[in-house]
Amino acid sequence: MENTIQLLIVEDDLLIAQDLQEILEEVAYQEIFKARNYQQAVDILTSQSIDFVLLDINLNDSLSGIELANHINQHYQIPFIYITSYSDAGTIASVKQTRPAGFLLKPYSKELLLAKIEIALFNYSNKLNAAEQQLNTLAASDAETDLVINNHLLIKNNYRYIKVPLSDILWFESDRNYVEVKTSERKYTIRCSLKKLTEQLPENGFIKCHKQFIINAAHVESFSANLVFIAGQEIPIGRNMQSDVFNKLKYASI
């Protein structure tokens, strides 16, 4: 079962908050939460698994967006972007200390907002802090956008990302520059080499059984000299990989 990215909008202006939500919903973000002040935002962060925050600086509250950013950095380590009307030297100096994933001045455009979010999430997926550096990487290679983080496969889908638990994945099948990801419910296609994917996956749970296949050992129903059976499907075992596959399957829960 896939988990959609959960976003939090922290904005005291109801019209702007609604506009942000509508833009995000247009590109299929579904899990969107809104807060008007520091305490509401903290309550949502505590009760929900928020992945990303859009943050106004001036919340017309005793505590500002910058103070909320410090709270996020201290407790959650998730990316956030400031959306603000303030660009004076003092504000910029304070903002820089919180290491945001981006900074967007009002009035903003839909295209720039979505680009900022995509870059920030891309940064997060690769555990980088510099959005500018990651933008250059993104332009050079789309293949880097699908990575394993916190036992989930992060898959780019247009402007949004979805999180697929590794435990739900039955197998991976390579098709040249792409890899098909098979779960019991659906199939995804990502641009990534099987070699790169192997480096990202946990060693104990996934087994490369063929030059084109990586299987999830937990879903193996049975196996023979040259075949593995998962969800009623036959998956080949490479001749040179048989010994390694057999040894790993002996210790797997099947």
User: Distances in Å between the alpha carbon of 214 and those of 72, 183, 204?
Assistant: 37, 13, 12
Look-up of token digits 């009623």: 232
pLDDT higher than threshold 70 for residue 254: no
Asked if 162 contacts 30 with a C-beta cutoff of 8 angstroms, the reply is: no
- 17 or 132, higher pLDDT: 17
pLDDT higher than threshold 90 for residue 27: no
User: Distances in Å between the alpha carbon of 6 and those of 2, 29, 52, 69, 238?
Assistant: 12, 8, 7, 17, 40
- Sorted by where each begins, the domain ranges of the chain are 3-138, 167-250
pLDDT per residue as tens digits for the range 93-104? 899 999 999 999
Asked if 10 contacts 17 with a C-beta cutoff of 8 angstroms, the reply is: no
pLDDT per residue as tens digits for the range 177-208? 789 999 988 888 888 888 888 888 887 789 99
Q: Provide CB contacts within 8 A for 135, sequence distance 6+.
A: 119
Average pLDDT for 68-80: 90
Least confident of 9-13, 189-193, 214-218: 189-193
- 59 or 157, higher pLDDT: 59
- Round to whole Å and give the CA distance between 173 and 230: 13
Indicate the CATH number of 167-250 among 2.40.440.10, 2.40.50.1020, 3.30.465.10, 3.40.50.300: 2.40.50.1020
Average pLDDT for 107-127: 84
**CATH number, span 3-138:** 3.40.50.2300
pLDDT higher than threshold 70 for residue 132: no
pLDDT per residue as tens digits for the range 229-241? 999 999 999 988 9
